[in-house]
Structure 1
Amino acid sequence: MTMDELQMIREAYGEPEPPTPRETTEARALLSDGRPRRRARLGRGLRIGLGAVAAGAAVAVAVTVTGTGAPAPPSRPAGQVDLGREAVLAAAAKAEEKGAAQPVGKYWFTDQVSGQSYIVRAATGDYAIVGAHSESFSWTGAKPGMGTALYGREIPSRPLTKQDAALWEKAGAPSKFRVWSNDHYYTYDRSTTEWDSEADARGGGRFVIPGTGREPLTLAEVQRLPEDPAALAEMFFKPSVLKDKERAGPLSRLATPRAKLGIAARLLEGTPLPPGVRAGLMRALAAQPGITAVGAATDPLGRPAVALVADDAPATVDGEFGAPPEERGTFRSRSELLFDKATGELLAEQRVLTEPGGAYRNREPGFVINYWAVRASGWTDSKPEPPAKPPF
């Protein structure tokens, strides 16, 4: 990622701050042509860029992590109902209704968990783990001077599914996992860390909403954002045209289905959008070309969901960066945005396998390659505190 490319992202979406580790990863993905030579990874750094010191150990519990992974639904004859889309639109209506009943509080907070899947090559049988496993927590006061705070910690690596847990136990239940990660071997373990934090007692009252300009918005300005899906699509899914036309090529890739889904994810994950705006954004994304809906899915934390998914794309890993033979090959995957069926709240963003190959040649479609899940978010009148207990 060059500085010119990062500047292009800022100019297109009005990002006023340097990119976080995750944003840099997303930008690389958005600018790629769908044929990356090596697998992207979330890495050990948290979204908020906080360092952490290892302390103690936590017991990891394996849960079933399954995306949808099914091929996109075929075109339907005129008049036939798209049940997946209807389920997503119903969830959007529920989000609008539920949110309208919840008043704005004094503090906005969000608690998120992320992880990357890796394959452990064991003599007793290969199994998948979740590594680069981290949790981030942040809050912002509704008014200036109410403060802001960011927290981050690393949480234990763990077997991905119950089947992987059985193979892990068969291999002797090791506490460390040596895996191929991007372009080198890395060892993850089952340790956890204390929360690390950064705070600004003078902060608060300003919220970064990508696509609305270079300056953060006040809460009143956020509340006045449009609810109309067409207006939201124009605002968030059509980056402004750069004056330098020679750089417009990469910019056009920001209008791909995968890019639009990623933009919606970022908005819904960490910003206090009003319920009508959140519902409108869901409807706007559902109407975009290349975005399909799934009426039944499961998020990385095991919660039932409905999903909006972007068309899948191929990725190829070769030996250019030293990848061993078992990591090489081509696979296909797609991005998914998952919502709670009952409330319409955003649950997670994940990348799932659609066509096995490469490191995932022995995995089934639906295998979760990486994810970013919202553990909890919303408004509260009490100053938020990060949870003491890890999610796993």
Structure 2
Amino acid sequence: MSRRRDLMQLLSESRPTRLDPGESQLDLATLTAYPPQEPAQRAARPAARRRLVLTAGLVPALAVGALAVAVVVHQPAPTPRPEAARSVTPQSAAARQFLLAAADRVAGSEAGSGQYWQINMEVGDVREVGPANGRYDIAVRMGVEDWLATDPDGRSWTFFQRLGGRPISAADLAAWRRDGSPARWGDVSVAPGPRRLRTPEGVDSRQNYFLGSQSVTAAELTALPADPAALQAELSRRHADSQESRTEFLFWSGTSLVLDLPVSPEMRAAAYRMIAGLDGVTSLGAVTDQLGRTGVAIAYARRGDGGVPLQTRLILDPRTGRALAEETWRVGVPDRLVHYRAIVEAGWTDANPPTA
């Protein structure tokens, strides 16, 4: 079973030669690095630890009345998105209580089935732009749509679209306007690009996934125990080959299981319960993700390369237990968004993938 191919190779294969060379420099691999780092630090991150392909899975489709999926309309003119709440006192007890409640909700959801697990996500990387006396942040965004075949002999498909840059906060929007409302910042345009198919022939679905920083097969995912203690023991065994601390590895592995891997509701519930028992996991309370959805942020603080203080925020829907997004923030006064991945919609389908 082949390993997933690096995203830079993916984009190189899928980029038509007529595209603007500057615009093509957008590095989707760095947008999905494990763990996400600030741009200046990513060059030192070993390539083997990158997410190799954006695919598959958030939560199986929940009851229609309970599952609220945001519809995002991308406008050429940039408008800021709400920032996550700041300066909220984190509480470990509140995080544990919320995660256990989310586990109960997810465990009771229907697993569903279909020819494909179809998922749309938006990834964003923050850059500082503008004149020396008026710097501001923009999010360099890309939309990714995956169709993961459930048939081991089937083909999977990936579509991507550069969504353009946009100021992040109201303050960034005001600074952009003072900058003359530029339509381009170097290699980043305000306007979205065309939606493109990764490769005309599709992708072999018999590929590896990343669980934390470890490569696993679909069969290995299915074989993971759906008991939190047993799951933690199995993941701890895998930690021997990882560079992170054991707790960090367990947190990232659990986050992968609840956010973007094709596993059962019982497995997601076990991952939530495992995360709830980890030291250093706190609640930031109510926040708004980068798609404007309200959720509760579960946070884990860590040190990035060079000792930079970072915080990962897993944002969950309190009504359904559904994982909405993952965000990385640099901790400071104020905190500063670095990177995000937001699930737009996900579910099982028997429809055929679009041709373009």
Q: TM-score, structure 2 length as denominator?
A: 0.73
Secondary structure of the residue aligned to 1:253 is coil
| 1:267 positional shift | 3.1
- Distance in 2, matches of 1:376 and 1:216, equals 24
- Distance in 1, matches of 2:87 and 2:160, equals 34
Q: Deviation digits for residues 149-201 of structure 1, max 9, x if unmatched?
A: 112221110111222112211221101124xxxxxxxx322132222322656
Q: % of aligned pairs identical?
A: 23
In the alignment of these two chains, the number of paired residues is: 310
Report the CA distance shift for 1:74/1:115 in structure 2 as closer, same or farther (over 3 A).
closer
- Distance in 2, matches of 1:148 and 1:207, equals 13
- Distance in 2, matches of 1:137 and 1:59, equals 20
- 2:83 counterpart of 1:83: no
Q: Deviation digits for residues 34-93 of structure 1, max 9, x if unmatched?
A: xx994438xxx99649xxxxxxx9514423342345476367xxxxxx234322322222
Instruction: Verify the 8 A CA contact 1:176 1:190 in the aligned structure 2.
Output: yes
- 2:112 counterpart of 1:103: yes
| 1:130 positional shift | 0.8
| 1:146 positional shift | 3.5
- Distance in 1, matches of 2:117 and 2:78, equals 30
CA RMSD of aligned residues (A): 3.8
Letter aligned with residue 253 of structure 1: E
- Distance in 2, matches of 1:26 and 1:209, equals 9
Q: Deviation digits for residues 254-308 of structure 1, max 9, x if unmatched?
A: 5242x43333333333321111111111111121122223332221211111222
Residue aligning to 1:125: 134
- 2:149 counterpart of 1:141: yes
Report the CA distance shift for 1:58/1:68 in structure 2 as closer, same or farther (over 3 A).
closer
Report the CA distance shift for 1:64/1:344 in structure 2 as closer, same or farther (over 3 A).
same
| 1:144 positional shift | 3.1
Report the CA distance shift for 1:381/1:267 in structure 2 as closer, same or farther (over 3 A).
same
Instruction: Verify the 8 A CA contact 1:69 1:353 in the aligned structure 2.
Output: no
Secondary structure of the residue aligned to 1:310 is strand
Instruction: Verify the 8 A CA contact 1:112 1:137 in the aligned structure 2.
Output: yes
Which of 296, 306, 325 is residue 296 of structure 2 equivalent to? 306
Q: TM-score, structure 1 length as denominator?
A: 0.67
Residue aligning to 1:322: none
- Distance in 1, matches of 2:88 and 2:176, equals 30
Instruction: Verify the 8 A CA contact 1:88 1:293 in the aligned structure 2.
Output: no
- Distance in 1, matches of 2:32 and 2:170, equals 33
Correspondences of 1:254-273 after superposition (within 5 Å): 254-257=245-248, 259-273=249-263
- Distance in 2, matches of 1:304 and 1:341, equals 9
Correspondences of 1:302-381 after superposition (within 5 Å): 302-313=292-303, 332-356=309-333, 364-365=334-335, 367-381=336-350
Q: Deviation digits for residues 93-118 of structure 1, max 9, x if unmatched?
A: 22222x32x52222112211111112
Extract unaligned runs of 5+ from structure 1: 1-13, 30-35, 50-56, 76-81, 179-186, 243-250, 317-329, 357-363
- Distance in 2, matches of 1:23 and 1:157, equals 14
Extract unaligned runs of 5+ from structure 2: 8-28, 44-49, 55-73
Letter aligned with residue 296 of structure 1: A
Letter aligned with residue 275 of structure 1: P
Report the CA distance shift for 1:39/1:16 in structure 2 as closer, same or farther (over 3 A).
closer
- Distance in 2, matches of 1:123 and 1:266, equals 38
- Distance in 2, matches of 1:214 and 1:23, equals 18
Which of 244, 248, 259 is residue 253 of structure 1 equivalent to? 244
Residue aligning to 1:166: 174
- Distance in 2, matches of 1:95 and 1:170, equals 46
Instruction: Verify the 8 A CA contact 1:353 1:369 in the aligned structure 2.
Output: yes
Letter aligned with residue 92 of structure 1: A
- Distance in 2, matches of 1:171 and 1:213, equals 44
- 2:163 counterpart of 1:155: yes
Report the CA distance shift for 1:65/1:370 in structure 2 as closer, same or farther (over 3 A).
farther
